[in-house]
């Protein structure tokens, strides 16, 4: 049975009190007796009992009133009601008031013992069931966190669950490298409170290792928990306003981190006498659950990072590592949907076939890579450079009209013309490019149309002098079909 169960026996008859208490004591229970409701309440306020056994008819008060008071003091207390009234109504009232069983006098000590054992066994099962349900809920939340394919949702789920486990008023997530501004995620706090808590968390991050840390914040004492995996620290979660108020977080260090989530005790080493002490107001189970949530958040963020890198690779050209046509489609769709102006430069190297014929395709491929580097250095970071296929490239210039795009196109044309390619290979090749320019919405209003008119302008330049920038117009002939 573990610890001895404490029983409070309430009956105004001395014989019944003596008979039942002696029998229960002989069965191994710790029994206290009371002869009235007021005396029983005094006992209940003084100490905790596992089970209350009470007669319905008591001096000065109804036994069911006592049962109600006992349940308010300790909702987990089990109760058995004994009465001489062999009627249904009192039994129904007793069960509705929270009694686990109802016995009609005369009650043998053996029958009372069986009822006590049954009530305590039911209480143990309910407690275990409650713990199992809590573990199951935590497991399900962890599953949802790690299976989420959205960064914001994963963080939001983890923060809400962590605040609930610690009975905190709110929590924020800050990433390593964040300097200021709103946190990467917040739950239960308004914008100003979240930013203040995040600022305090960022200041404490250099002191945060594998264990959690108590930090002082403008919102009061808070708990800073590491979010890290085996590869690297990713950030931290800061929960504020945990159960117990300021006294709940009077410790400085020692809460288990993700690697210690299975520990059953959480102690601190910041007392004046350096003696261990539990974190007041926060159970070790809650701390372990918080650490588990942080470890699953770290796993989710690491997985999402891998997915982003894989997704990014799907939009890169294998040779030049510029973006490919799949990414070009996404960019054009995005800009058209947003209604923002942009310009497209369609570029083709002049007489590239001669380079392949003279130096071979391997050297030709190296030249294409080097051309990509020249293009990237000639545009802004927000602009997109794409290898369209073969020796053709496309640049999408964000937020510019045809006049601004013409300046960029001329800069690109001169950069390619002046650059000596393949110097490291000893070839010292010079090439030029023909560039077609079309802007949206000036020359076209759809993805297919803007690419088509820029392509036509580029071919118009190749048919003329080459090494030229040609701006789109409505009378341009169609571009010839590309070879398969």
Residue 319 tokens, joined: 């040779």
Residue 292 tokens, joined: 């588990």
Does residue 228 contact residue 271 with C-beta atoms inside 8 Å?
no
401 burial type by CB count under 10 A (0-12 exposed, 13-18 middle, 19+ buried): middle
- Cα separations (Å) of 64 from 36, 67, 108? 12, 5, 22
β pairing state of 384-389 and 392-398: antiparallel
Does residue 467 contact residue 433 with C-beta atoms inside 8 Å?
yes
Phi, psi of 94 (to 5 degrees): -65, -45
Residue 377 tokens, joined: 């250095």
DSSP state of 205: G
Write out the chain's pLDDT in tens, 484 residues: 456 889 999 988 889 889 999 999 999 999 999 988 889 899 999 888 989 998 887 887 778 888 888 888 888 888 888 877 666 677 777 777 778 888 888 888 899 999 888 888 888 887 777 777 878 888 888 898 988 888 889 999 999 999 988 888 899 999 887 778 889 899 999 889 999 999 999 998 888 888 888 888 888 888 889 998 766 678 888 888 754 333 334 333 333 333 333 332 333 333 322 223 334 557 778 888 888 999 999 999 888 888 888 877 889 999 999 999 999 999 999 999 999 999 999 999 999 999 999 999 999 999 999 999 999 999 999 999 999 999 999 999 999 999 999 999 999 999 999 999 998 888 889 999 999 999 999 999 999 999 999 999 999 999 999 999 999 988 888 877 665 4
| Domains of the chain listed by start with CATH number | 6-126 (3.40.50.2300), 148-307 (3.30.450.40), 325-471 (3.30.70.270)
DSSP for 10-54 reads: E-S-HHHHHHHHHHHHHTT-EEEEESSHHHHHHHHHHS--SEEEE
β pairing state of 6-10 and 51-55: parallel
DSSP state of 239: E
Could you tell me the strand order of the sheet in which 101-104 lies?
30-34, 6-10, 51-55, 78-83, 101-104
Classify 463 as helix, strand or coil: helix
DSSP H or E segment with residue 402: helix 402-418
364 burial type by CB count under 10 A (0-12 exposed, 13-18 middle, 19+ buried): buried
Residue 305 tokens, joined: 């990072």
Measured distance CA(160)–CA(157) in Å, rounded: 5
């Amino acid at each position: 049975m573990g610890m001895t169960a404490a029983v409070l026996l309430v009956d105004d008859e001395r014989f019944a009190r003596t008979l039942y208490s002696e029998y229960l004591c002989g069965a191994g229970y710790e029994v206290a007796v009371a002869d009235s409701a007021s005396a029983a309440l005094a006992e209940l306020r003084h100490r905790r009992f596992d089970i209350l056994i009470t007669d319905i008819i008591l001096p000065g008060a109804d036994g069911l009133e006592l049962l109600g008071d006992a349940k308010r003091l300790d909702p987990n207390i089990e109760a058995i009601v004994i009465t001489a009234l062999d009627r249904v109504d009192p039994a129904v009232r007793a069960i509705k008031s929270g009694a686990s069983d109802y016995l009609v006098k005369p009650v043998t000590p053996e029958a009372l013992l069986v009822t006590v054992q049954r009530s305590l066994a039911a209480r143990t099962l309910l407690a275990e069931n409650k713990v199992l349900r809590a573990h199951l809920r935590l497991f399900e939340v962890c599953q949802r966190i790690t299976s989420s394919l959205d960064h914001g949702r994963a963080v939001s789920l983890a923060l809400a669950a962590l605040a609930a486990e610690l009975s905190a008023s709110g929590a924020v997530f800050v990433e390593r490298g964040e300097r200021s501004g709103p946190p990467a995620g917040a739950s239960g706090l308004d914008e100003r409170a979240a930013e203040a808590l995040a600022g305090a968390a960022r200041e404490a991050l250099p002191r945060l290792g594998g264990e959690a840390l108590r930090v002082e914040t403008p919102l009061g004492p808070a708990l800073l928990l590491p979010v890290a995996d085996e590869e690297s620290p990713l950030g931290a979660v800061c929960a504020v306003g945990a159960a117990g108020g300021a006294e709940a977080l009077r410790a400085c260090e020692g809460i288990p981190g993700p690697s210690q989530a299975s520990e059953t005790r959480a102690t601190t080493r910041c007392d004046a006498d350096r003696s261990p002490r539990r974190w007041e107001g926060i159970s070790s189970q809650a701390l372990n659950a918080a650490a588990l949530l942080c470890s699953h958040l770290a796993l989710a963020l690491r997985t999402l990072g891998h997915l982003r890198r894989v997704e990014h690779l799907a939009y890169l050209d294998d040779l030049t590592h510029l973006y490919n046509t799949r990414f070009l489609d996404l960019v054009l769709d995005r800009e058209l949907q947003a209604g923002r102006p942009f310009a497209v430069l369609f570029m083709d190297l002049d007489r590239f076939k001669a380079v392949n014929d003279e130096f071979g395709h391997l050297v030709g491929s190296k030249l294409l890579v080097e051309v990509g580097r020249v293009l990237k250095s000639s545009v802004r970071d927000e602009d997109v450079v794409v290898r369209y296929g073969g020796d053709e490239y496309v640049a999408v210039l964000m937020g510019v009209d045809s006049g601004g795009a013409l300046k960029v196109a001329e800069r690109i044309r001169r950069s390619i013309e002046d650059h000596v390619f393949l110097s490291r290979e000893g070839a010292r090749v010079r090439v030029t490019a023909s560039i077609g320019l079309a802007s949206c919405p000036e020359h076209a209003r759809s993805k297919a149309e803007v690419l088509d008119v820029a392509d036509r302008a580029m071919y118009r330049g190749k048919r003329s002098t080459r090494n030229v920038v040609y701006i789109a117009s409505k009378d341009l002939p169609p571009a010839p079909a590309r070879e398969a």
